[in-house]
Structure 1
């Protein structure tokens, strides 16, 4: 199993907009991708900003590549997400899941 990790920052209002975008656009799209297992959106308030961390789990790197295209470490960040965020990773990190 492959874990795909991506981080961003937003204002409090931007984090709320991103949360809505994640639930209504990102999750439905991901659920239609073969090899997608699950996703987590995590947040941490830090004063006037919010750290966001998205972790998705995939059956294989082949499934990740089918979703992300090449190279697979390029972040997939739609315009609606970009508009809600202050900063975001242009690249994601992939991890082999060794225990659960």
Structure 2
């Protein structure tokens, strides 16, 4: 029934910082995240009508055990390395979890 578990985390970021955040994330964070067994993917959404804008980060995992491999004993706790924190003047302290329900449309 489920396509895994989605971990949702949100923050605020200035539009001028998005490209630098993306480059930093892809080179310094994503390699370790993607190497975790059970990591299935990531999507990043940016709200369109504001600056700073709201960023929603959706990571998909096989199960909660995979998320714990990423986030630690408290998988809802924000995972924000010190070098990434300056990008986010405001951010959620906790993530939320959602079942990924793939739809097959014929």
With normalisation by structure 1, the TM-score equals 0.89
Larger radius of gyration: 2
Superposed counterparts of 1:1-100, under 5 Å: 1-100=4-103
Instruction: Using the TM superposition, give the Cα deviation of residue 30 of structure 1 relative to its aligned residue in structure 2, in angstroms.
Output: 1.0
Cα pair 1:18 1:85 within 8 Å, conserved: no
The structure whose residues are more often strand, as a share, is: 1
Does the C-alpha gap of structure 1 residues 48 and 33 become closer, same or farther in structure 2, counting only changes over 3 Å?
same
Instruction: Using the TM superposition, give the Cα deviation of residue 17 of structure 1 relative to its aligned residue in structure 2, in angstroms.
Output: 2.4
Q: Which runs of 5+ in 2 are unaligned?
A: none
Work out the CA distance in 1 between the residues paired with 2:50 and 2:42: 26
Cα pair 1:41 1:54 within 8 Å, conserved: yes
The structure whose residues are more often helix, as a share, is: 1
Instruction: Using the TM superposition, give the Cα deviation of residue 15 of structure 1 relative to its aligned residue in structure 2, in angstroms.
Output: 2.4
Work out the CA distance in 2 between the residues paired with 1:39 and 1:5: 10
Work out the CA distance in 2 between the residues paired with 1:54 and 1:85: 13
Cα pair 1:39 1:57 within 8 Å, conserved: yes
Instruction: Using the TM superposition, give the Cα deviation of residue 74 of structure 1 relative to its aligned residue in structure 2, in angstroms.
Output: 0.3
Work out the CA distance in 2 between the residues paired with 1:76 and 1:55: 13
